Amino acid sequence: MSGASWAQYVALIVLLAITAPLLGRYIANVLEGVPSRLDRAFDPAERLIYRVCRIDPDREQRWNIYTLSLMVFTGVGLLFLYLIQRLQGNLPFNPTGFAAVAPALAFNTSVSFITNTNWQAYGGEAVMSHFTQVVGLTVQQFLSAAVGLAVMAAFIRGLARAGHRTVGNFWADLVRTTLRILLPLAFVFAIVLLASGVIQNTHGFTTVHTVAGSTQQIPGGVNASMESMKQLGTNGGDWFNVNSAHPYSNPNGFSDFIEIYAILLIGFALPFTFGRMIKDKRQGYAVVTIMSVIFLAATLSLMFLEVGGNPKLTDAGATQKVTATSPGGNAEGKEVRFGPSASGLWGAATTGTSNGSINSQLDSYTPAGGLVALGDLKLGEISPGGVGTGLNGLLIIVILAVFIAGLMVGRTPEYLGKKIQAREVKLVALYVLAMPVVVLGFTALSVFVQSVLNKSIYNPGPHGFTELLYAYTSSANNNGSAFAGLTANTAWLNNTLGITMLVGRFFTIIPALAIAGSLARKRHTPATAGTFPTHTPLFVVLVLGVVIILAALTFLPVLALGPIVEQLHI
């Protein structure tokens, strides 16, 4: 890699190392209600929301009532967003005059945005009105991220509390995370993106005359505000069809760096939030170490694979070396503004979180590079994962590792002084199995569906299979990125991918909240000489081993049919 690529990578890590602990402490204070000098600004707005919505923030809920509140809120959001799309032709703020969105696509998009997936089987500037993009999609980007943070808060309370029957108040958590965390961060990042050249206007298409004498349609949009929350909330949905490869969403190297930083910031801050809320910072350090090891391995692998290029092109006499005038490597599908290195870094950052944005086409990566991106998803997006959901997923794996360690030494497994018993292990199994079952099941069914074979897959053989597998994996992990060679706007894929998103979201949230409720009721067990410490380097290695073995046992056969065999061909 070039010196500039190394400088960008090191600067990103240093900036995250400095700011993530500070943000993590702030988030913990918000979730625990610690008094702050910012209360003067936020308290009046909070009290107004509570009064209008008739919310008692001090009335806590059991895990099942917390879950019911979440499901009702999400269901209302789903219906609201669906109706906006179906009625957008009759709604205001539609300068391009777009008609109603088709039912299957409206369903798919609604599910996508309320689950934090932001899978887009459409071109934003060619289908959605400004009203739909701002009032519908951008609002859900805030709310879906806030729901993830709320579930994380409830899960941590379940680990931290002893002898309690409640895990917090969903409505209060939702209001506080939206008002005190997401809105201020999004405002600051929107200003920075505006300064870097991201557009923010209310224009429709503007017709201009080129120097060649032809005409061109230039799109407008309220984009900077959407872009900031798209990245901070690990959403990924963009105003424009080509996402962050579009110069109006990601105009230069500075905006590219800032957006990668925004994608990772909250995810890497949350382990520090976890350490403070359970009153044991060492546990937070262990979790962030696990995340960091996976992140470093994925980013460096993908960057080097894309900079290394395609050996068949080298054999044909094409130069792929890094020079003073060329970034080298696999340039296919890459923006010349960023090159293979920055594209590889972005690809690993987004597939390690639930952010499905792209600054290059994953479909044109080397097979091994695509395997790394797909592998990031198969690990469950825990490096650092989606806002809130990534930390929850890793803590579920930690509980599984504790259970395995307990079996190895012949003791009842314990985590943070809580015994891990049959109920928790069954819920962990449900959490772990939900994603593989829906991914493998729908992928297997789809290869027999004629509309998929005749219309959706343009690339036969291993690459086409990888595209299909990636689509379901991305949807089940609520990521939303795609191998662009797949035509997903069909009735079969719109509906099955929508179901996959719902399973990936709620068949993980519900078990996580059930585990939280179960653990909150348990009393702390004093540590003894036989207690397995969960903050040591040995435990970090154990968890990493469980992550890798679990993913390999589940997905290695299907990966061998796609990217692995494709890489062997070259």
pLDDT 10s digits, 345-401: 999 999 999 999 999 999 989 999 999 999 999 998 899 999 999 999 999 999 999
User: Is residue 239 over pLDDT 80?
Assistant: yes
Tell me: cis bond preceding 436? Omega within 30 of 0 counts.
no
pLDDT score, position 327: 74
Q: Stretch 467-490: mean pLDDT, rounded?
A: 90
Q: What is the pLDDT of residue 526?
A: 85
CA distance 303 to 397: 27
| The residue type at 133 | Q
Query: CB under 8 Å to 501, separation ≥6 — which residues?
Result: 111, 112, 115, 117, 119, 475, 476, 478
Per residue in 507-540, is it b (16+ CB within 10 Å) or e — as a string? bbbbbbbbbbbbbbbbeeeeeeeeebebbeeebb
- For residue 277, the SS3 value is helix
- 305: pLDDT confidence band, cut at 50, 70 and 90? very high
Residue 18: per-residue pLDDT = 98
Q: What is the pLDDT averaged over residues 243-254?
A: 94
The pLDDT tens digits for 268-304 are 999 999 999 999 999 999 999 999 999 999 999 999 9
Q: What is the mean pLDDT of the chain?
A: 93
Q: How many helices (H) and strands (E) does the chain have?
A: 22, 4
Query: Which of 214 and 328 is assigned the larger pLDDT?
Result: 214
pLDDT confidence of residue 411: 76
pLDDT confidence bin for 232, thresholds 50/70/90: very high
Residue 434 to residue 507: CA distance in whole angstroms: 6
Dihedral pair phi/psi, residue 520, rounded to 5°: -65, -30
Banded model confidence at residue 514, pLDDT cuts 50, 70, 90: very high
CA distance 547 to 539: 12
How far apart, in whole angstroms, are the C-alpha atoms of residue 399 and residue 519?
A: 11
Output the CA torsion 445→451→456→459 (10° steps).
80
Burial state string for 463-477 with b = 16 or more CB within 10 A and e = fewer than 16: bbbbbbbbbbbbbbb
Looking at residue 360, what is its pLDDT? 93
> What pLDDT is stored for residue 3 in this prediction?
84
The model's confidence at residue 476, banded by pLDDT at 50, 70 and 90, is: very high
Strands 418-419 and 215-218, by their bridges, are unpaired
Identity of the highest mean pLDDT range in 3-7, 30-34, 315-319, 403-407: 30-34
d(CA 188, CA 412): 48
If pLDDT is split at 50, 70 and 90, which confidence band does 130 have? very high
- pLDDT score of 460: 81
Nearest to 512 by CA among 405, 404, 385: 385
How many whole angstroms separate alpha carbon 556 and alpha carbon 553? 6
Give the amino acid at 239: W
Shortest CA distance to 551 belongs to which of 442, 433, 389? 433
| Backbone dihedral angles phi then psi of residue 206, each to the nearest 5 degrees | -105, 125
**Please, where are the H alpha helices in 54-102?**
63-86
List CB contacts of 399: < 8 A, sequence separation 6 or more: 415, 420, 424, 428, 515
Q: How far apart are CA 509 and CA 125, in angstroms?
A: 32
How many angstroms separate the Cα of 315 from the Cα of each of 451, 457, 569? 38, 29, 14
Element housing 418 (H / E): strand 418-419
Is residue 486 classed as helix, strand or coil in its secondary structure?
Answer: strand
| Residues near 476 by beta carbon (within 8 Å), at least 6 away in sequence | 434, 435, 438, 439, 500, 501, 503, 504
Count of CA atoms in the C-beta half-sphere (13 A) of 304: 6
pLDDT of residue 442: 96
Q: How far apart are CA 361 and CA 205, in angstroms?
A: 25
For 63-106, the pLDDT digits (tens) are 999 999 999 999 999 999 999 999 999 999 999 899 999 999 99
pLDDT at 245 over 80: yes
Report the distance separating Cα 242 and Cα 180, nearest Å. Answer: 31
Residue 314 has pLDDT above 80, yes or no: no
- Does residue 318 surpass a pLDDT of 80? no
**Residue 321 pLDDT level (bands cut at 50, 70, 90):** confident
- Split at pLDDT 50, 70, 90, the class of 342 is very high
Q: Answer yes or no: is pLDDT of 525 > 90.
A: no
Average pLDDT over residues 48-71: 96
Round to whole Å and give the CA distance between 147 and 104: 25
Helix (H, G, I), strand (E, B) or coil at 398: helix
- Among the ranges given (20-24, 208-212, 504-508), the one the predictor scored with the smallest mean pLDDT: 208-212
Residues 6+ apart with CB under 8 A from 360: 245, 333, 334, 335, 338, 343, 346, 347
Q: How confident is the model at residue 488 (pLDDT cuts 50, 70, 90)?
A: confident
What is the pLDDT averaged over residues 94-121? Answer: 94
Say whether pLDDT at 317 is over 80.
no
Q: Are 482 and 356 in contact (CB under 8 A)?
A: yes
- Provide the CB-side half-sphere exposure for 294 (13 A, CA): 33
What pLDDT, on the 0 to 100 scale, is given for residue 117? 95
